[in-house]
Every structure is written in structure tokens, then in C-alpha cells.
Amino acid sequence: MKIMTSEKITELEEIARQLRIDSLKLIYHRGAGHPGGALSAAEIIAALYFHILNIDPQNPDWDQRDRFILSKGHASAVLYSALARRGFFPFSELDHWGGLDCPHQGHPDRLKTPGVEMTSGILGHGVALGAGLSLAARMKKQTYQTYVLLGDGECQAGIVWEGAVTAAKYRLANLTAIVDNNNVQLDGFVHDVMPLEPLAGKWSACGWHVIEVNGHSVRQVVEALELARELHDQPTVILAHTTKGKGVSFMENQSYWHGNVPNNEQLSLALTELGEVANG
Amino acid sequence: MAEISMREAYGRALAELGAVNPQVVALDVDTSLSTLSNFFAQRFPERFFNIGIAEPCMVDVAAGLALGGYMPFINGFASLLALRALEQIRTCVCYARTNVKIAASYAGLSDFKDGATHYAITDLANLRALPGMTVIIPADAAEAAAWVPLVAEYDGPVYLRISRAGAIPVHLPDSPLQIGKGRTLRSGNDLTLVATGAMVGRCALAAEELSTQGIHARLLEIHTLKPLDSDLLLQAAAETGALVSAEEHSIIGGLGSAVAEVLSEGCPVPFVRVGIRDHFCPTSRNLDQLMDACGLSVADIVEAAKQVLERKSPSKKS
């Protein structure tokens, strides 16, 4: 377990802020992307990529690396920001994100972006994929952990629960799912589109250990991820309660910002709120 | 009919593969006693995973196992793998290019007692359209077994279509199998019969029948629907001037469509498709009778051959 000093917490909070700024700029320049779910996941991604994951950007295929699957692949902007800041590829490669000359796809593609563990974009795959990776690790007696980040709306997909009971059957304690529980999806609030509560009860009933945290508290997220590694007889799900569009007042809790792109004025306002100094 | 079924030959071959390749794992969806992946399960229980009645989940778990360094063979009914799990196959196997082998059992009409829900008559159309997928259809039990190690040697996704039943033996042990290379099982220059799967044996009978009438049909086995051996087909079209395709599948999207694509672009000659003519098929007490009733009889092939010959060289009528 790595020591969590107050300096480390401050550092991760600052990284999360930067990831939000990066994500919005990337989405703005591409003219496409999903801001709401990128902003809600910023602390989770910061905690994983800058503290928890045992990875080597110089050797992305290192076989002992921890595995991370972004099951909610539409949050690609925040993943790409983290991968670039961790040194998997130069940030400048994202200058033409979305263009035919840019390898990094709208949704993550494992064959095109170093550090992307698995291709995603269609919701629902991560837990079952993670179960397979975790089974492989156990059979090969490898100690890496597998982490899957999915959305709460994504939990409406039946295959999530097929994967969940599979992971429970095989008692895959080396698998941790994190639900970015922001309660907003494309068409509106999750509780209106298709209610999932009690979500913790559903995971628990499927045989998972459930930890609920404030997903914008770096300390709580990190502590939950550390605790998950110490549990040895069942998979763990961290229900990270988050706010869609977190950090930008006019985007928070607005389903409109699931998949819409800010205009120039909105971007400036958002960056100001995120503490970005205007550069003219 | 062969003494053992295609599924049994496959199941035994998979277990043999497991003995020589420790990277091979097998998954099933509560059908291991039907697909006969249970031969593998009994010998290698630590490398066998029963995912329950959840084909999409099995595909994704297998993709994860492949990412983790294993070579999964997934087992289930073709009707479900090719439809319910098609998105998972598209996204997590083909697009992500994971080394997952799909053994799609009970294919075609071979589950004759269970009816249209259980028949797979569009699977070839579904799978053939996916970029990166290799589609292999053994013609008999011995060939099904022979493909297993070859499929394992190939690095990439494969759809291996397995019948619940046996088939008329046509396998030539001294004619090696190679992905993407069709085989000439009978020579002849009047027309060409192009067949896949269990229809290869039926076409062999049809060719025999035609020969008694003085018509010499060439017989091509297209075991690899994708990548298709276009050269072999175009050569046959040029040399025989007329083709008939035959498959235990809908005439839409399978072998007939694939051959038509090649011929129309490269060597348009008279062509007729033998297959299921865009309808659901009934339950039967007997597979051969069902296939006959669904337009797949030897007589149907002979009739198609005569139609195509008539178009190749119209008889003089007043």
C-alpha cells in the first residue's frame, strides 16, 4: 500500500483539474466528444493513472502491468489526457484528434493507442472482459490487478450482470470495478430513463463486495482502490458517487452535456471556472 | 453417413489440442454435453469455464482470456453465437483482434428436432460480413477434427462451423487443408458444383448422378468461406462456363452470395444457388428428410445443374 500524504492528495487533485481542462480542450478542438462523463471521472482516472496502476509508459505491453479497461469508452478524452500526461505518447498526437491522420480514435482502440488495454465504445463489455483477464492472471499466477471503469447508466445493459455473476462465480478478487455513478445519461437522469436503485444491492446480490465513496474525493477513491486489493475472496465494486460535468457549473447534472461540444464562449467560461489562466 | 458426428470429432480433437497446447482454454454456455466441449472439460477442468446461458458474456470473457495470453475456444449453438453474441464478436473479437476461436455447433439445420429457433441459416451471412473474421465450414467429421489444430495455428479470430450431425464422408487425408484454399474433389468441364459443409457430400452424389447422364461436373469444396478462394472459382468459371453453389444456409449472404460476388465482378457465367430460399424451416424427425424438404436434396442439385447448363448452352427450341 502506497502512503497517501496530504501532498500526494493535493497533487492528484491538481492532476484531476488538469485532466478536466485537457478533456474540454480536446473535445472543443475535435468538435466532438463526451464532456459530462469525462469530467465526472477525472478524480478516478487521476487516482488510477497517477497513483494506483502499476504501469510502465515506456513498456506499455509489460506483462506484469495492472490492467485498466475504460468500459465507458465515450470518456476517451479523459483517458487520452491521462495517457499522454503519463508519457504513453506525446500530447501533440492529440492535436488532430478525430482526424484521419490521428491514430487515436473517437473511442479507445487497443491496436492504435499505446496504453489502451482494450477497445471499447459499445457499453457493457468491461466487466466480462475484466473477468477474462482476471481468470488469465490467476491461471498464470500473475499478481496484476484488473480495473474496469463503467458508468451507472451502463449498468442498464444486461451483459454487465452476466459478467458480474461470472466474476463472482470464480471469486475473482483480482478484479475491481468502479462505477462512475453520476446519475445522468444521454436522455436524462438514470432514475427516469431506467431506474437502477438500489444499485449497491444489485452488485452485492451478485456476489460482489461493495464500497461506496465520494468519487470526487481523491482520498476516498484511493483508499477504496487500496482496500479492494486487500480483499481476497470476491471481486470488489466501488460505487463512486459523482456529478456529471463536475467542475463546470453549467454542465453539472445536465444530460445535454453528455455528448455535446462547448462553443468558444462556453469553453472559455468552463476553463475559467476550472482555474485555467486565459491565454489570449 | 459417417460413424461419428462432426461435433464429436470436433470435441475429441479439441481435447487432443488441449493436451499439446497449454495455452488452449475452452468455454461453453451450459451446452458442453451438446457441443461436446465436455471432452475437453473432463480432461482439463482447470482450463474449462462454463459461463451459463450467456453467449455474449462468454465472448467477452474469452476476449479477456485472450488479452491475458490464452487461446480460447468458445463453444455454443451457432444460432445464438451468430445472432445474440454478434456485437460482442464484432467489437471484442474482430475489431479488437483478439485470438478467439468460435466453435459454432448445431449449425445449419442439424438440430432438426428443435426447429427454426435452433437452426443457424444466416450465420455465414452474419459472420462473413465482419472485417477480420475467418470463416471455416468443415464438410465431414474427419475434416472437422483436422481443422482444430490448423485453426489454433492461425493467429486471429476464426468462426468454425460445426454440425450436430455427421455428414457424408468426403475428406481426403492426403489433400492437405489450408485456410483460404479451396479443393477440387472431382474434375469435369461441363459445369462446376461449388459446395460447403454437409452439402459437399450431397454434391458428390449429385455429380455421380450427373455423370450417369453424360454430364461431367467439377466439384469444388469451399471450406473457407472467408477469405474466399476467388482464383479457384474464377478458373472454374472460365473452364466450365457454368456454376451451381450448394450450402446448408440461406441463399442470402452465404456461399451462394459470395460466389456470385466473385463471378459477377470477374467472370460472369450462368449461376444457380442451391440453399434455403429465404424462409424459416420446420421441425423434423430426420435431418436428411428435413434437408430434402428445404431444397437441399441431391435432386435439387441435379436440377440446378441442368438449369445452369441450359442457360450455358440453350437447347434449340422452335
Return the pLDDT at A3.
74
Return the pLDDT at A136.
98
- Write out pLDDT tens, residues B236-278: 999 999 999 999 999 999 999 999 999 999 999 999 999 999 9
Reported in sequence order, the residue ranges of chain A that DSSP labels E, i.e. its strands, are 67-70, 146-151, 175-181, 184-185, 188-189, 209-214, 236-241
Inter-chain residue contact B68 with A125, CB threshold 8 Å: no
Q: Residue A212 region, left (φ>0) first, then alpha (ψ -120 to 50), else beta?
A: beta
Tell me whether residue B221 is one of the annotated catalytic residues.
Answer: no
User: Is B318's pLDDT higher than 50?
Assistant: no
User: Is A85's pLDDT higher than 90?
Assistant: yes
Return the pLDDT at A1.
63
- Write out pLDDT tens, residues B38-74: 999 999 999 999 999 999 999 999 999 999 999 999 9
- What's chain B's average pLDDT? 96
Taking contacts as CB-CB distances below 8 angstroms, the residues of chain B near A140 are 68-69
Mean pLDDT along residues A44-68: 98
Mean pLDDT along residues A79-97: 97
Q: How many Cα atoms occupy the beta-carbon half-sphere of B241 within 13 Å?
A: 10
Inter-chain residue contact A130 with B64, CB threshold 8 Å: yes
Q: How far apart are CA A274 and CA A26, in angstroms?
A: 15
Inter-chain residue contact B96 with A140, CB threshold 8 Å: no
User: Is B284's pLDDT higher than 50?
Assistant: yes
Before B157, cis peptide (omega within 30)? no
Among candidates B52, B63, B72 on the partner chain, residue whose Cβ is nearest the Cβ of A129: B63
Taking residue B172's Cβ as centre, other Cβ atoms within 10 Å add up to 14
Return the pLDDT at B295.
98
Determine contact, residues B164/B5, Cβ cutoff 8 Å. yes
| Kind and range of the H or E run holding A232 | none
User: Is B1's pLDDT higher than 90?
Assistant: no
| 3-state SS, residue B181 | coil
Interface of chain B toward chain A, CB-CB under 8 angstroms: 25, 46-47, 49, 51-52, 54, 56-57, 60-70, 72, 87-88, 91-92, 95-97
User: Is B11's pLDDT higher than 60?
Assistant: yes
Return the pLDDT at B175.
81
Return the pLDDT at B152.
98
User: Is A278's pLDDT higher than 80?
Assistant: no
Mean pLDDT along residues B274-288: 98
CA distances from A179 to A71, A212, B197, B278, B317 (A): 10, 10, 46, 45, 76
Return the pLDDT at B205.
98
- Write out pLDDT tens, residues A205-248: 999 999 999 999 999 999 999 999 999 899 999 999 999 999 99
Q: What is the pTM of this model?
A: 0.97
For residue B95, what is the nearest residue in chain A, using CA coordinates? A119
Q: How far apart are CA B32 and CA B45, in angstroms?
A: 12
Mean pLDDT along residues A39-51: 98
Return the pLDDT at B44.
98
Closest CA to B244 of B236, A231, B252: B236
- Write out pLDDT tens, residues B83-114: 999 999 999 999 999 999 999 999 999 999 99
- Write out pLDDT tens, residues A239-277: 999 999 999 999 999 999 999 999 999 999 999 999 997
User: Is B317's pLDDT higher than 80?
Assistant: no
